[in-house]
Amino acid sequence: MPKPGVIPLRPLGVGEVLDGAITYIRSNPVVTLGLSAVVITITQLIQVPITILALGQLSTIASPTAGIEQLAGALSSTLGAALIGGFITFIAITVLSGLLVVVLSQAVLGRRMSLGEAWAATRSRVLGLIGLSLLSSVVLVAVLLTGVVPIVLTAAADAPGGVVVLVGLVTMLGAFAAAAYIGVSWSMITPAYVLEGIPAMATFRRSHRLVRTQWWRIFGILLLGGVLTAVVSGILTFPFSLLGVGLSGSAPGADPFAGPSVLTTIIGAVGTIVASTVTAPFSAGITGLLYFDQRIRREAFDLELARAAQFPAVPPAPPQW
């Protein structure tokens, strides 16, 4: 079969999806790794001061003279800092995924993109992509919370402890199963929205149609990719965690919320940058290649890709397939 880029133009096996996710990074490391490093570094530059500020607030909890109001203020500040940091990371990863999918779409055709071309091809879809990701995340959280409501109601009705545990087990398992089904069914909203140019709300239906006949296969590949990503991330961040622990332990009796914790936070941020620079393009590559694989299987997309590979690219616009 023809192979103009990082994958052969035919239905892909599991190994070919994983290999393609690595090959497109190796074929264009400046854009894939460089783009990831820039985005993750910016998020950490914002998050680290917020985290250090939260550590300063938490130091009041360790004080024996702290009152209830001080403790409540420290906890609320810490929670607010965590929410702000998480939101910043969410936005950054969403935008980064869209950019990397565009780079991958050109790598499938045997082409390379510059950073400027990738941004120019994606920027008109960024706001819609963020909105889609936020909406899907809210829906998934709401589905998970439905598993908590019966537990609260059962406990409020003074039901026996065994009944509460049984209800909680059943409802939480059901909520997790429903969230997993929806999450996998919507796993292709990013490549579908960025590459096809379809309306935002139609993307959910489009992703579901691509996934529904092979839900278990896609679930397994995404799970395998997530495990590999977690393992690689753990390996890359371990030396930084070890260094942070060593530096924290180098000052016996030091306040755990003072200098050593600030230094540990900075070291941990460096480790996050290193790990995410590698794992972010890999994760985006797996999702993007599954999208191409499903379109090849269901829509004979390999013929259209083969024709597109014969003509020169016209940057910065991505292929509107």
Mapped to the 3 state alphabet, what secondary structure does 265-310 carry? HHHHHHHHHHHHHHHHHHHHHHHHHHHHHHHHHHHCHHHHHHHHHC
Among 185, 214, 194, 232, CA closest to 22: 232
Confirm if 228 and 18 have CB atoms less than 8 A apart: yes
* For the chain, the helix, strand and coil percentages under 3-state DSSP, each to the nearest 5: 80, 0, 20
Confirm if 298 and 210 have CB atoms less than 8 A apart: yes
pLDDT of residue 317: 46
DSSP assigned state of 13: P
Among 219, 214, 155, 217, CA closest to 183: 219
In angstroms and rounded to an integer, the radius of gyration of the C-alpha atoms of the chain is 23
pLDDT of residue 314: 46
Per-residue pLDDT of the chain (321 residues; tens, 9 = 90+): 778 889 999 999 999 999 999 999 999 999 999 999 999 999 999 888 887 777 666 665 555 555 676 666 667 777 777 788 788 889 999 999 999 999 999 999 999 988 889 999 999 999 999 999 999 999 999 999 998 888 888 888 888 888 888 988 999 999 999 999 999 999 999 999 999 989 989 999 999 999 998 999 999 999 999 999 999 999 999 999 888 877 765 544 445 444 447 788 889 899 999 999 999 999 999 999 999 999 999 998 888 888 887 765 544 444 455
Output 310-315 pairs: Cβ under 8 A, ≥24 positions apart.
313/106, 313/109, 313/111, 315/113, 315/117, 315/120, 315/121
pLDDT of residue 253: 46
Is residue 241 exposed (0-12), middle (13-18) or buried (19+ Cβ within 10 Å)? middle
Among 118, 105, 117, CA closest to 4: 105
Q: pTM of the full predicted structure?
A: 0.86
Domain range annotation of the chain: 14-309
Is residue 318 exposed (0-12), middle (13-18) or buried (19+ Cβ within 10 Å)? buried
pLDDT of residue 310: 78
pLDDT of residue 61: 59
